[in-house]
Amino acid sequence: MKAQEAFLPWLVLDVHLQALRAAALANDDTALRTVLAQCVPGFPAPGLA
């Protein structure tokens, strides 16, 4: 069995990580879920969970 993972270039990942950190610091659940939905396959988009 092989994993079929997609990888983001560091510069793209860094933008997502900064957005995730900012959302966490602001306690913004919708923004957190939005970033995770963009980066994690299968993660439900905000409003769908």
pLDDT digits (tens, 9 = 90+) for 19-31: 999 999 999 999 9
Residue 49 has pLDDT above 60, yes or no: no
User: How far is the C-alpha of 29 from the C-alpha of 2, rounded, in Å?
Assistant: 33
- The mean pLDDT value for 26-48 works out to 89
Residue 48: predicted pLDDT: 63
- The mean pLDDT value for 9-21 works out to 93
Residue 4: predicted pLDDT: 65
